[in-house]
Homo-oligomer: A and B are copies of this chain.
Amino acid sequence: MVMAAVSRRHARLYVTVDLVILTIREEGLHVLLVERGKEPYQGQLALPGGFLRERENLPDAARRELAEETGLSDARLHLEQVATYGDPGRDPRDHVVTVSYLAIAPSLPAPVAGSDARHARWEPVDRVDRLAFDHNDVFADALERARSKLEHTTLATVFCAETFTIGELRRVYEAVWGGPVDARNFNRKVTGTDGFVVPTGETRRSTPGRPAALYRAGPAKTLYPPMLRTNIGAPTSEWTRINTMRA
């Protein structure tokens, strides 16, 4: 049986992946940006990314680009698809559809010098503005995804090292949500939720101050009931983008 090829009448497009790589540095949430080395948008900051290769699937492309930018392929990294943007005018050169991925890692070092990351740098998330292409939207959607995920899942532990204190975990929430989280209620919620964290039995000393108990990430993925953002502005959750359709 002969199988017909796809009609040549259909559009053929380039597909890229764009990465929103988040980490926590200097007590604040940062995103990795690169300076465009050539047109279009030369000199402007953009999210890192690249073109899909022949017969390459999307997550592999995202992992490849991530490894290029951060040098990491650690399994503890979080990588998840967020949205797809396909406005024909988003890239002046040609019709390019991009699939964005949220990547989260424990404290990442300064960007490595590579051919694509020559002018890469960590930017505080509240300082991100005027990115190339539609990357402002891409970034905003991924940031909101990260914020929502901290409400409903135990994802925050991915921002931490293998062992961490409750205080460190709470500061992750504060960095991602952009506001204070009550230490007493946070401690009760996290340690009272089965599978969120697992005590190691050891402590980490700080000078001065009471030594803090150390924990590892537990097996639970879902945080149920969720820990909702309350006193940090009105929730502009990704839930509310009814009829949201990325172009």
* Chain A residues near B (Cβ < 8 Å): 1, 3-7, 10-15, 38-40, 51-59, 62, 78-81, 83-88, 91-97, 99, 101, 148-149, 152-153, 155, 221-226, 228, 235, 237, 239-247
Contact = CB atoms under 8 A, between A and B. Distances in A.
Contact of A58 (B80, B86, B148): B86
A11 B83 contact: no
A57 to B, nearest CB: 5
A104 to B, nearest CB: 10
A245 B15 contact: no
Contact of A245 (B1, B81, B235): B81
A53 B11 CA distance: 5
Give how many copies assemble into the complex.
Answer: 2
Contacts of A91: 6
Given A11-B15, A14-B11, A6 B58 contact: no
Given A13-B52, A52-B10, A247-B59, A81 B84 contact: yes
A39 B14 CA distance: 25
22 contacts: A3-B93, A6-B14, A10-B52, A11-B15, A11-B51, A11-B52, A11-B53, A11-B56, A15-B15, A55-B88, A56-B88, A57-B87, A58-B245, A59-B245, A62-B245, A97-B97, A97-B99, A149-B239, A221-B240, A222-B235, A225-B228, A226-B228
Given A14-B6, A39-B1, A242 B55 contact: no
Nearest to A224: B235
